Amino acid sequence: SQTIHQWPATLVQPVGSPLSLECTVEGTSNPNLYWYRQAAGRGLQLLFYSVGIGQISSEVPQNLSASRPQDRQFILSSKKLLLSDSGFYLCAWSVIGTTDTQYFGPGTRLTVL
Amino acid sequence: AQSVTQLDSQVPVFEEAPVELRCNYSSSVSVYLFWYVQYPNQGLQLLLKYLSGSTLVKGINGFEAEFNKSQTSFHLRKPSVHISDTAEYFCAVSRSNDYKLSFGAGTTVTVRA
């Protein structure tokens, strides 16, 4: 069966520091991968999605970036965090080539102080 | 682009009472529809989905939803709720030729004894 991992689970970082969140998927090949952010009291905002290694699409202009160095690994990064980057970050995967269900990881709670 | 409106941000309900969470969407093309549940500090879990076929969809934990194309709605129902159903519920829509989900703002359900 497929599983999706995210780490760290929680993170507290100062403004201006760098960020690296990692997501890995097991049990499937060539998945679509997604990064979402959930700010307090708001719904989910799609940040990036990827349909293959090295293929990243950005949905929202911001100081975040994403990379997919391996088929089942998706990384969210920032060079300098802003206060507004605080939130709950969720990674998800789906079967490539379809618009079927997205399956979500457990999330990373990021607090920028 | 499609959009999703969840008409109730908060729904308090007593244990063993029925609950209905309303979701309306707008899209000019065919869509797939989803309901997800999120327990505190966890990722999203799929409750049910409508891709095609019967408009009444049954999901996990006793939930069901009905797709109404003429009213562009996909309301979620449960005839008798439990304390453990306390969570946030998200309606989501994807276009039939797209990889991306659009989420509603969420409905917080609080079940009281």
pLDDT attached to residue B1? 64
Q: Does A16 touch chain B (CB under 8 A)?
A: no
Say if the Cβ atoms of A49 and B99 lie within 8 Å: yes
d(C-alpha A64, C-alpha A21), whole Å: 11
Residues 6+ apart with CB under 8 A from A42: B105
pLDDT band at B112 (very low <50, low <70, confident <90, very high): very high
> What pLDDT is recorded for position B95?
80
Beta carbons of A32 and B104 less than 8 Å apart = no
> What chain B residue is nearest to A38 in terms of C-alpha separation?
B105
| Residue B90 sits at the chain A interface (C-beta within 8 Å) | yes
Nearest to A46 among B97, B100, B104 (CB): B100
Q: What is the pLDDT of residues B36-72, one digit of tens each?
A: 999 988 899 999 999 888 999 999 999 999 999 999 9
Secondary structure of chain B: what % helix, strand, coil (to 5)?
A: 5, 55, 40
Burial class (CB within 10 angstroms; exposed 0-12, middle 13-18, buried 19+) of B62: middle
Residues of chain A with C-beta less than 8 angstroms from the C-beta of B104: 43
* Cβ neighbours for A79, distance < 8 A, ≥ 6 positions apart: A18, A63
B6 to chain A: closest CA residue: A43
B10–chain A Cβ distance below 8 A for any pair:
no
CA quadruple B105, A42, B40, A56: dihedral sign: positive
Is B42 an 8 Å CB contact of chain A? yes
Average pLDDT over residues B26-43: 88
Structure confidence by residue, pLDDT tens digits, A5-55: 999 999 999 999 999 999 999 998 899 999 999 987 678 889 999 989 989
CA distance B2 to chain A (A): 14
Mean of all residue pLDDT scores within chain A: 91
Higher pLDDT pick, A109 / B52:
A109
The pLDDT score that the predictor gives to residue A97 is: 65
Nearest CA in chain B to A109: B41
Indicate the DSSP class of residue B62. Answer: G
The 3-state DSSP class for residue B7 equals coil
Residue A112: per-residue pLDDT: 96
Residues of A in contact with B42 (CB under 8 A): 106-107
